[in-house]
């Protein structure tokens, strides 16, 4: 059986669903393909850091889970064992918050609730992708049956790519250990980015807890994962310092960190967005927000210009500045701060002090984190 559609989106995660919702009011037929049941996302407890710019993108789609989102009103940035710090406040930009923290499952639920009935093909596995006349033919298997969909445009939004041709990989030799802890005193809607020689340590307010992203070399991550709860709290306290007391740690998970950049995000009638186009280090929370901007910009291009190769090529050119800028921004931070070389530690302290004393520079960095390339002149 062959089914024609205008736009086929592979991957019904938040980025893929955002694209589908942004296209829903247009004239194009849109289908989403997902290898898992959508209900599997309801059990995903991961924390996501979304910028205020992401909220501005999701609200018009009716997919902003306001009750599930914890505002970040202040971000405190400093380095362990060195002077210099900077503080950014949402009030400086007349915003209710600089960003928000919420669980993956809550965002996925808000998005899926808005999707048109029957637009998602769940538990579907791709068997083959090949060119077709004026389209791309995707052969898939679902519920024991094989079918082919011919799409004018095929969008890849299936997540982080492996080590494949056309993807540049830079291994940071760091793992992120993620957990939730109870702070004392309460977090006061303040996030912390604490740079250490092992890597950045982020504390993100989530409900009454902090979601901790503990970045470490792989062998130290092994040690942290093996500790009991008391040992984990002691290690976290040692890395962060005495300013906040931590208790009641939740389950820990870990994942390796690498910069992955796809060389070409458009090829004929195929286009790549979100983590499958670029996977960034979690420092400063840029990666997921960049993926949402990919979806918004692609939807605008397809609605304005139609689903054809010229549209995708123009979209790829337009996105280059934002995605390369985001990659350079996060990569530069990681490489500049993840060491204990004394002259560089002094330079970092001076840089943080300069940001704090020079509002235009601080505002530029904050706006880059909130709105991406739109913050650039």
Share of the chain above pLDDT 70, in %: 92
CATH class of 71-98+173-257: alpha beta
Distance CA 276, CA 34 (A): 15
The pLDDT of 327-339, averaged and rounded, is 79
pLDDT per residue over 35-63, tens digit each?
999 999 888 888 999 999 999 999 999 99
Start and end residues for every CATH 3.30.9.10 domain found in the chain: 71-98+173-257
pLDDT per residue over 258-309, tens digit each?
999 999 999 999 999 999 999 999 987 889 999 999 999 999 999 999 999 9
Q: What is the model's pTM?
A: 0.93
Cis peptide before 308 (omega within 30 of 0): no
Start and end residues for every CATH 3.50.50.60 domain found in the chain: 2-69+102-166+258-331
- Under the banding of pLDDT at 50, 70 and 90, the label for residue 377 is very low
Tell me the two tokens of residue 344. Answer: 């560089």
In a 10 Å sphere around its CB, with 0-12 CB exposed, 13-18 middle and 19+ buried, how is residue 68 labelled?
Answer: middle
Is the alpha carbon torsion for 161, 166, 167, 170 positive or negative?
Answer: positive
Reply yes or no on whether the pLDDT at 205 is more than 90: yes
- Under the banding of pLDDT at 50, 70 and 90, the label for residue 196 is confident
- Under the banding of pLDDT at 50, 70 and 90, the label for residue 149 is very high
| 21 within 8 A of 108, measured Cβ to Cβ | no
pLDDT per residue over 296-308, tens digit each?
999 999 999 999 9
The pLDDT of residue 78? 84
Residue 130's SS3 state is: strand
Q: CATH code for 2-69+102-166+258-331? A: 3.50.50.60
The pLDDT of 334-354, averaged and rounded, is 68
The pLDDT of residue 345? 65
The pLDDT of residue 86? 87
- Under the banding of pLDDT at 50, 70 and 90, the label for residue 159 is confident
Tell me how far CA of residue 19 lies from CA of 7, 11, 230, 256, in angstroms.
10, 11, 43, 27
The pLDDT of residue 314? 98
């Amino acid at each position: 059986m062959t089914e024609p559609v205008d736009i086929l989106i592979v991957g019904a995660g938040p980025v893929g669903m955002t694209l589908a919702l942004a296209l829903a009011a247009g004239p194009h037929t849109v289908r989403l393909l997902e290898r898992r049941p959508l209900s599997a996302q309801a059990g995903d407890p991961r924390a996501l850091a979304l910028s205020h710019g992401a909220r501005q993108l999701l609200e018009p789609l009716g997919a902003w889970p306001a009750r599930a989102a914890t505002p970040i009103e202040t971000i405190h940035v400093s380095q362990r064992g060195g002077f210099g710090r900077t503080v950014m406040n949402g009030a400086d930009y007349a915003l209710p918050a600089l960003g928000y923290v919420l669980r993956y499952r809550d965002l996925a639920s808000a998005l899926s609730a808005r999707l048109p009935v029957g637009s998602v093909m769940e538990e579907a596995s791709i068997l083959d992708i090949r060119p077709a006349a004026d389209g791309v033919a995707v052969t898939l298997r679902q519920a024991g049956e094989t079918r082919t969909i011919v799409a004018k445009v095929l969008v890849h939004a299936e997540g982080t790519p492996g080590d494949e041709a056309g993807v540049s990989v830079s291994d940071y030799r760091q793992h992120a250990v993620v957990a939730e802890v109870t702070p004392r005193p309460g977090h006061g809607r303040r996030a912390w980015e604490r740079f250490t020689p092992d890597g950045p340590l982020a504390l993100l307010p989530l409900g009454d807890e902090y979601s901790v992203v503990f970045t470490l070399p792989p062998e130290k991550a092994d040690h942290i994962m093996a500790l009991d709860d008391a040992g984990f709290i002691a290690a976290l306290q040692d890395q962060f310092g005495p300013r906040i007391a931590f208790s009641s740690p939740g389950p820990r998970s870990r994942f390796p960190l690498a910069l992955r950049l796809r060389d070409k995000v458009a090829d004929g009638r195929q286009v790549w967005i979100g983590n499958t186009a670029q996977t960034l280090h979690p420092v400063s929370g840029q990666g997921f927000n960049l993926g949402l901007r990919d979806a918004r910009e692609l939807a605008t291009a397809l609605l304005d210009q139609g689903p054809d190769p010229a549209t995708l090529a123009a979209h790829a050119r337009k996105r280059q500045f934002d995605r390369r800028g985001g990659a350079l921004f996060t990569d530069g931070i990681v490489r500049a701060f993840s060491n204990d070389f004394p002259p560089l530690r002094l330079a970092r302290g001076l840089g943080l002090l300069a940001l704090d004393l020079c509002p235009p520079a601080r505002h530029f960095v904050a706006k880059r984190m909130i709105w991406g390339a739109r913050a650039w002149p």
